[in-house]
Structures are given as C-alpha cells and as structure tokens.
Amino acid sequence: MSDPAAEAQRRVWTIGDYPVVARHLLPISVETVAAIGVRPGDRVLDVGVGSGNAAIEAARRGASVTGIDLTPAQIERARARCASAGVEVDLRVGDAAALDVLDASFDVVLSVMGVIFAPDHVRAAAELARACRPDGTVAITAWARGGWADRWRAQVAHLVPAPPPGGPMPDEWGDPAEVIRRLADAGLDATVEERSFAFRFPSVETAVDVFLSAAGPFVQFMEAASALGRSQEARQELLGAVVESNAAGDGGCELPAPYLLAVAKP
C-alpha cells in the first residue's frame, strides 16, 4: 500500500530542478564530510543522498560510499552526477526509517538535510545508529531555528492551507537540545554546533526566481497558491520575505540560513 506522506515527499523532491539547489547547498556537504574527517577506505552511508553532494565529496576522499534516497528522481540525478564526477557510489532507492543495510556495516553514517524529512524521526534515528559500527560516527545536519527555512514559511503560511498531519517536521530538528535528545534515544552520544551558511544570489529578484523554479518546497507552495488564484500575492510575499531576510549590503542578496551539525558516537 502506498504511503501518502512518502508519495508527497517523493513529489516535492522531483518537481523543480534540485541540482540547482544542490549547488547552493554544496558547502554544507563539504564542511560535514571534512568535519567528520572521512578517510580513504571508510565505508560511508549517505542517507537522503539527493543528487549526491556529500556522497561525491566522500567518494573523492577515497571512501567506499552508499547513497540512499526515498525519491527515485534524486537517485537518477545522483547517478548522472557521480558519472560526470568520475566516482563510483552505490546508489539505491530506500527509506531512512527502514534502511536496507546490515547492522554495524558503516564507519560513517551521514545525512545532510535528509533524515530530517523522515516523518518517523524515532525510527529514522534508530536506523542511523543501527547502520553505524560501534566505533563509527553518525553526522546529521538540520536547518537551525530562525534562519531562511523558517522565515519564508512563516511569511507565506497564511496564503495556503497547512500541510496535512503525518508529514515530515524538519524544523523540529532545528533545536540543538532536541537533536541531542533524539540521538540519545537512539543510543547516540552527540555534540551539536551551529554553523553559518547563506544562500547567495545577484539580486533579490533572482533569489525569488531561483527558489520558484528550482526548489521543490517553493514550487509546491506556488502550485498551491496558484490553485487558489493567489499566485501574484504569493510571489509578493516571498519577495517580501527575501527583502526582509537579505543581509547583503551591496545590492546583492544573501539569505542567512545557519545550520546545526550534530556529530555522534554510538
């Protein structure tokens, strides 16, 4: 039987042009792989691999990498990027809450803005722990509270219906104490640090254009607003959120989006 929450997730990461978003997010994967110190020969599992950012980075360091994602279109994008990057990654469709991997089979289990989208966060955290060797490392990232991810959603929430219950709640992972608690419940001892990141565009208008054409959650928001005849209003609200969040002083656009990096040991 198909799971409506999983179907909705697959759709949101299929629409738009995710590789454009991935180019913006790449520094987060580079920093995460560096922070863990992935080494040649490490067996690395990337959960919510998307179009391959962290997996490719780890493979370039000589790791043996497996990437799993719920969305078949993302796995196809990752395959294409791995091929053009000249790295081999074992890529598979699968669910973070039921990983098709053996117990304790990876030295590093990482998830860059991936596992936070699994609705069942208890099972997802338990699966990260199960896949990791007793002396291995689990690392996940999540958007920190109060950054761009929160700001735009808050600004446009009045325009479209709230998402149905039972879906992912990625913002819940944005609180360091909550991340530590969730990972501790899975038997993982985590330290969490907040790191800075910003989306950068030549102008505020470009930012709106890129989000609305490439980023699934924004494309989906605009679809919902258009269905209600509110597309003009939706674009204006989004532009307002961009203008208010813009931290660039030079006519450009810089949207601060700090993130949490949790590094945990079993």
Ligand X SMILES: C[S@@+](CC[C@H](N)C(=O)[O-])C[C@H]1O[C@@H](n2cnc3c(N)ncnc32)[C@H](O)[C@@H]1O
Positive or negative: CA dihedral 234, 13, 24, 148: positive
For residue 260, state whether it binds ligand X (rule: CB under 6 A): no
Amino acid identity at 252: G
Separation of alpha carbons 75 and 68, rounded Å: 8
For residue 13, state whether it binds ligand X (rule: CB under 6 A): yes
For residue 32, state whether it binds ligand X (rule: CB under 6 A): no
For residue 58, state whether it binds ligand X (rule: CB under 6 A): no
**Which lies closer to ligand X via its Cβ, residue 70 or residue 253?**
70
What tokens does 58 get?
């780890």
For residue 97, state whether it binds ligand X (rule: CB under 6 A): yes
State which of residues 36, 118, 126, 188 lies at the interface with ligand X (CB under 6 A): 118
- What is the SS3 assignment for 137? strand
For residue 146, CA distances in Å to 47, 49, 67, 255, 256 come to 25, 25, 30, 12, 9
The distance of closest approach from Cβ of residue 167 to ligand X in the complex, given in angstroms and rounded to an integer, is 10
For residue 138, state whether it binds ligand X (rule: CB under 6 A): no
Positive or negative: CA dihedral 68, 181, 28, 6: positive
Candidates 66-74, 127-135, 145-153, 196-204; binding stretch for ligand X (CB under 6 A): 66-74
For residue 197, state whether it binds ligand X (rule: CB under 6 A): no
Which residue, judged by CB position, is nearest to ligand X in the bound state?
A: 50
Separation of alpha carbons 168 and 111, rounded Å: 15
For residue 53, state whether it binds ligand X (rule: CB under 6 A): yes
What tokens does 149 get?
């991810």
**Token pair 């490439």 in the structure block, residue:** 214
Task: By CB under 6 A, name the binding residues for ligand X.
Answer: 9, 13, 22, 25, 29, 47-50, 53-54, 69-71, 74, 95-97, 112-114, 117-118
